[in-house]
């Protein structure tokens, strides 16, 4: 079972967000199965996000930084270290509803893995990725706006992690904002590691 809490506020072109995301193991976990309904341990992730969105120039920049704290998986006697992650995106609106740009992330494990099951030592991971993105806003059901984002990441630096190429598709629906000249359009839409 996962929980999420956010607090968002706005000051002109500056948008801020604080979040807490976590899980409570509620399904079965068996270390001999390939797939499990539960990760087998408690984890809490918290961080802060910022979006600069200027409707007059069409420039947007978003960043979300956070820390993830992991409990021990008692079946494996293994605890992942605390990790820092920074996800960012910058784009230019080429029309009122389409933006294009770059996105990327930095992942750094700041404490080592531990427990009897940590047979490879602290195994601290590190990765940096970057790639293109494109986003579309569109009218959806009455009173709602849809948003579709496509982005790709290529790892340019990795340590103690596999080197990846990833394509992500995000689709979301939100209540439409009332039309007002000073109301920015667009979410703080980063967190895609």
Domain count for the chain:
1
pTM assigned to the model: 0.82
- Is 75 part of any domain? yes
Using alpha carbons only, give the angle 173, 175, 180 rounded to the nearest 5 degrees.
125
- Is 111 part of any domain? yes
In the numeric block, which tokens belong to residue 39? 């990760």
Is 85 within 8 Å of 63 (Cβ atoms)? Answer: no
For residue 101, give its domain range. Answer: 2-175
Is 135 within 8 Å of 105 (Cβ atoms)? Answer: no
- Is 25 part of any domain? yes
Q: At a CB cut-off of 8 Å and minimum separation 6, what does 131 contact?
A: 102, 103, 104, 151, 152, 153, 154
Q: Please report the sign of the dihedral spanned by the C-alpha atoms of residue 156, residue 160, residue 163, residue 168.
A: negative
Q: Phi first, then psi: give them for residue 192, nearest 5 degrees.
A: -140, 45
- Is 51 part of any domain? yes
Per-position pLDDT tens, the chain of length 193: 889 999 999 999 999 999 999 998 887 888 888 888 888 899 999 999 999 999 999 999 999 999 999 999 888 888 999 999 999 999 999 999 999 999 999 999 999 988 888 788 788 999 999 999 999 999 998 899 999 999 999 999 999 999 999 999 999 999 987 765 554 544 444 444 4
- Is 49 part of any domain? yes
- Is 192 part of any domain? no
- Is 184 part of any domain? no
The DSSP symbol for 1 reads -
- Is 91 part of any domain? yes
- Classify each residue of 140-158 as buried b or exposed e, where b means 16 or more C-beta atoms within 10 Å of its C-beta: eeeeebebebebebebeee
């Amino acid at each position: 079972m996962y929980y999420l809490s956010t607090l968002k506020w706005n000051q002109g072109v500056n948008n801020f967000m604080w979040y807490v995301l976590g899980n409570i193991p509620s399904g079965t976990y068996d270390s001999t199965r390939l797939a499990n309904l539960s990760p087998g341990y408690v984890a809490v992730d918290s961080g802060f996000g910022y979006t600069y969105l200027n409707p007059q120039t069409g420039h947007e920049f978003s960043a979300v930084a956070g820390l993830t704290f992991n409990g021990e998986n008692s079946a494996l006697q293994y605890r992942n270290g605390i990790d820092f992650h920074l996800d960012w995106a910058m784009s230019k609106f080429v029309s009122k509803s389409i933006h294009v740009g770059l996105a990327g992330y930095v992942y750094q494990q700041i404490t080592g893995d531990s427990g009897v099951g940590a047979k490879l030592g602290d195994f601290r991971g590190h990765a940096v990725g970057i790639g293109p993105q494109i986003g579309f806003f569109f009218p959806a059901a009455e009173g709602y706006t849809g948003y579709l984002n496509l982005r790709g990441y290529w790892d340019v630096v990795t340590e103690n992690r596999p080197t990846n190429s990833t394509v992500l598709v995000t689709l979301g629906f939100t209540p439409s904002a009332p039309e007002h000249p000073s109301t920015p359009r667009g979410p703080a839409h980063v967190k895609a590691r």
